[in-house]
Chain A
Amino acid sequence: MTPYIIALLLVFMIIGAIIALEIRDTLAAVVALAAVGIGISIAFLFMGAPDLAITQVVVEVLVLLILIRATISRDVTTIEAGRPQFVMTISVCALLILLLFSLHMVEVLPTFGLQDHMVNIGNPSFHYLSEALSETGAANIVTAILLDYRVYDTLGEVTVLFVALIGVWTVLRKKGRLRGEAVAFGQKEEDDEA
Chain B
Amino acid sequence: MKPDQGMSLIVKTVTCWINSFIFLFGIYVMLFGHITPGGGFPGGVIIACSFILITLAAGKEFALKLFSLDDASVVDSFSIFLFLFIGFLGLILGNYFLQNFMAAGEPFRLPSAGTIVLNNVAIGLKVGAAIFAMFMYLSLFRLDEGEETE
Contacts and interface: CB of A to CB of B under 8 A. Distances in A.
A137 B105 contact: yes
A144 interface: yes
Nearest to A176: B148
Interface residues of A, number: 30
B134 interface: yes
A139 interface: yes
Contact of B35 (A139, A173, A176): A139
B120 interface: yes
A55 interface: no
Q: Majority SS of interface residues in chain A?
A: helix
Interface string B72-94: 01001000100110010000000
B55 interface: no
A136 B104 contact: yes
A73 interface: no
Interface of A: 133-140, 142-144, 146-148, 151-152, 154-155, 158-159, 161-162, 164-165, 168-169, 172-174, 176
B39 A143 contact: yes
A172 B141 contact: yes
A190 B122 CA distance: 45
A138 B140 contact: no
B100 interface: yes
B83 A143 contact: no
A161 B127 contact: yes
B140 A143 contact: no
A130 B138 CA distance: 45
A86 B144 CA distance: 48
A27 to B, nearest CB: 27
A166 B106 CA distance: 40
A165 B74 CA distance: 13
Given A138-B112, A168-B138, A143 B76 contact: no
28 contacts: A133-B107, A135-B104, A136-B113, A136-B114, A136-B116, A137-B104, A137-B105, A137-B106, A139-B108, A140-B38, A140-B39, A143-B34, A143-B38, A144-B116, A147-B34, A147-B116, A151-B119, A152-B98, A154-B119, A158-B83, A161-B130, A162-B76, A168-B133, A168-B137, A169-B137, A172-B140, A174-B140, A176-B148
Given A148-B116, A158-B80, A139 B144 contact: no
B114 A137 contact: yes
A121 B34 CA distance: 25
Contacts of A162: 76, 80, 126, 130
Interface in B99-150: 100, 103-108, 112-116, 119-120, 123, 126-127, 130, 133-134, 137-138, 140-141, 144, 148
A151 B101 CA distance: 13
Given A143-B33, A155-B83, 9 more contacts: A147-B40, A147-B116, A155-B87, A155-B98, A158-B83, A162-B80, A164-B134, A165-B130, A165-B133
